[in-house]
A and B are shown apart, each in its own frame.
Chain A
Amino acid sequence: MNGHRSPFSANPLAATGFLIPAIVAALLLAALPLALVLSKAFYDTQVRDAFPQTLEALAGWEASAPLPDSAPDALAHDLKSAYADQTLAGAATKLNERSSGLRSVIMGTARRLAREDGTDIAATLQQSSPLWAEPQIWATIQAAGKPFSLVNLGRVFAPSVSAAEGAARTIGVYGDMLVRTLTISLGVTLLTILIGYPLAYTLTFAPPGLKRPLFLLSFIPLWMSLLGRAAAWVILLQKNGVVDTVAQTLGVASEPLGLLYSRAGVYIAMTHVLLPCFVYPCYSAMANIPRNHVTAALSLGASGWRSFRIVFLPQTLGGVAAGATLVFVLSMGFYLTPALVGGPADQMLSYMVSEITLKIGDAGMASTLAALLILTMLVGAIAIHLAVDLLRRLLLLGA
């Protein structure tokens, strides 16, 4: 009845029904949340929802033309109802991002309107802020009323002026965070390759009796609690903690290193957590390489190092790419380890996403950063594949 080699001959639909609960869960609780994040990144209805009548009154208006007569009344109506619904603060914050100072103007006007019910609207607006006589503020509301916008994306890459630093920086705080996340992830990926490759190699060529215990030791950490491992590093790295004590006893350091809340600590802890994720795919690739390739190279007179470099190493690069991509993708999304082991200057994008959502309440900005995180992750994964492929070609050329 069905053409492919299914073990089930009759009534294939019945077995397909087995997939339904999982498909519903994946669509509803993973695909839909992802779609919500991606849409909120560029689509924000807060201002549109708070100023429906104002936007209607301003439809077709241009800043050079006189303000429509109906606009002030519409604005007063919107301000009052949004203030009563408590949706005004969010919209005012959005407007403030476009033109700073607008938040207090809008909230102040709304409070005054709520107090002085039924009086002359135009006069109330004028008393609240002289800005209402200018066309700019109306144009800002009109522009922010369009739900599709790249404002958040602009804020990521726009230069920001920090009063504390007193100078314009070339890149904003969010852009900084993106670059830092990328730097740390690439650094951790490189470290896991350097430390993990010899381990995978030794696992592959270990004598049979040693193989099982070595395997167990290498992968015990993989199934141990992720939070527990991050916590272990907090305890070990703290000032005058175990790492400091050992370093001082061995004479490596003369005073406490204070690695907790430092970038070095983040590298150490993240590499530790992610190392098994590199070793496993790398080992799988090595185990699949026919042993007689190297033997043939040796018998043809190549030195041990040379046969490793031109016969064995290039064949393992597929595994290296797989492991490195996995480590990179996972570390881009890391949250716990940098949050616990890093200082304020070592936090990564994931941390920013949660802080902005849960503390500041700017869902749009959090979504934009989340979308950027995914995008950077994908681009980085492709770049790693290309880089490893290039390396393979170079190795073979150098042979």
Chain B
Amino acid sequence: MKQVNAIMGLLAAGALLFLLMPIVTILPIALSSGDYISYPLPGLSLRWLKQVALHPGWREALGNSIFIALGSAMLATLFGTLAAVGLVQAAPRQARALRGLLMLPVAIPSVVLGLGLYFLLARAGLLSTYTGLILAHATISFPLVMVVVGASLATTDLVVIRAAQSLGAGWRMIFLNVLVPMLYPAILAGFILAFLNSFDEVIVTMFIAGPEQNTVPRVLFANLRDRLDPSVVAVTVLMLLLSALLGLLLQLLARWTQRRPADQ
């Protein structure tokens, strides 16, 4: 078995290198002082990051992205958390069927959902509106919140709900005063996931957004196809770093959730 382990370990090292190398390699290019993308770097500077930060196109896109991501993440967190609590309550068979329906937004390929939403929002007069975009992004994000909060609910002793009920608490009170404080880390993790999901979305957005609703991924996508310059690298690196940082935060939240029952 040692032989097998050694061969597998060697291959795994290669796989990890393949997985991480590209991401690590690209990071320093954002700090290049050169006029175009080249390795080795001619020198280090913040000029491209500064150019991105000052460019009106990127700033406008960033504003739109944050607005849409915040709005949709808030809606998705509300819908997803409520749904996770509702699913715990439903009978097992109904819960399975309902979960299937509720996971539909992430099961449909983005391009198919984008096309369908394009038809639907055109009829509803919501094409090229922030309302349409926020609703669409909330829909593709709430299943993520539901899964994260649901996982946390599964490890929570729900006898506290009975206790609250026996003390005469109504549903609104139980949700706000018992469940939300208990599930707080998972709800926050769900919010971060929903935010990232919206902030990275480009396919559905492309179908339903108007020209005045440029988001960061949309502008980045267009630039990657038309002209590659170090400012594109700078934005790519910023997006990778933002998602990595928020992802690490998610890991911390997950560990916090896991440890909590033992602490109490």
A305 to B18, Cβ gap below 8 A? no
- A6-B89, A21-B82, A21-B83 as given contacts; A11 in contact with B236, CB under 8 Å: no
On chain A, the residues within 8 Å of B11 by CB distance are 195, 198-199, 202
CA–CA, A370 to B113, complex, Å?
A: 9
Task: Tell me if B180 counts as interface (CB < 8 A to partner A).
Answer: no
A346-366 residues at the B interface, CB under 8 angstroms:
349-350, 353-354, 357-358, 363, 366
B225 to A22, Cβ gap below 8 A? no
Task: Tell me if B136 counts as interface (CB < 8 A to partner A).
Answer: yes
Q: How many A-B residue pairs have CB under 8 A?
A: 290
CB distance from B42 to the nearest CB of A (A): 14
Task: Tell me if B54 counts as interface (CB < 8 A to partner A).
Answer: no
B136 to A225, Cβ gap below 8 A? no
B85 to A15, Cβ gap below 8 A? yes
B139 to A227, Cβ gap below 8 A? no
B240 to A224, Cβ gap below 8 A? yes
A304 to B108, Cβ gap below 8 A? no
A15-74 residues at the B interface, CB under 8 angstroms:
15-19, 21-23, 25-27, 29-37, 40
B93-122 residues at the A interface, CB under 8 angstroms:
98, 101-102, 104-105, 108-120
A234 to B86, Cβ gap below 8 A? no
Task: Tell me if B71 counts as interface (CB < 8 A to partner A).
Answer: no
Contact of A225 among B162, B232, B243 (CB under 8 A): B243
B29 to A235, Cβ gap below 8 A? yes
B89 to A8, Cβ gap below 8 A? yes
One digit per residue, 1 when the CB lies within 8 angstroms of any chain A CB and 0 when it does not, for chain B 190-223 equals 0000001001101100110000000001001100
CA–CA, A27 to B79, complex, Å?
A: 13
On chain B, the residues within 8 Å of A230 by CB distance are 224
B16 to A218, Cβ gap below 8 A? yes
CA–CA, A224 to B104, complex, Å?
A: 23
- A18-B85, A23-B102 as given contacts; A34 in contact with B236, CB under 8 Å: no
A7 to B86, Cβ gap below 8 A? no
Task: Tell me if A367 counts as interface (CB < 8 A to partner B).
Answer: yes
On chain B, the residues within 8 Å of A308 by CB distance are 1, 4
Task: Tell me if B90 counts as interface (CB < 8 A to partner A).
Answer: yes
- A205-B5, A235-B29, A241-B37 as given contacts; A272 in contact with B19, CB under 8 Å: yes
Contact of A30 among B16, B85, B113, B232 (CB under 8 A): B113
Residues of B within 8 A of A (CB): 1-5, 7-12, 14-16, 18-20, 22-23, 25-26, 29, 37-39, 78-80, 82-83, 85-92, 98, 101-102, 104-105, 108-120, 135-136, 138-139, 142, 146, 158-159, 161-162, 165, 170-171, 175, 196, 199-200, 202-203, 206-207, 217, 220-221, 224-225, 228, 232-233, 236-237, 239-240, 242-244, 246-247, 250-251
* 15 CB < 8 A contacts A-B: A6-B91, A8-B165, A22-B80, A23-B101, A25-B138, A26-B101, A26-B104, A36-B116, A36-B119, A224-B244, A228-B239, A231-B239, A235-B233, A353-B115, A354-B207
Residues of A within 8 A of B (CB): 2-4, 6-12, 14-19, 21-23, 25-27, 29-37, 40, 195-196, 198-199, 201-203, 205, 214, 216-218, 220-236, 238, 240-242, 245, 272, 275-276, 294, 298, 304-305, 307-308, 332-333, 335-336, 339-340, 349-350, 353-354, 357-358, 363, 366-367, 370, 373-374, 377
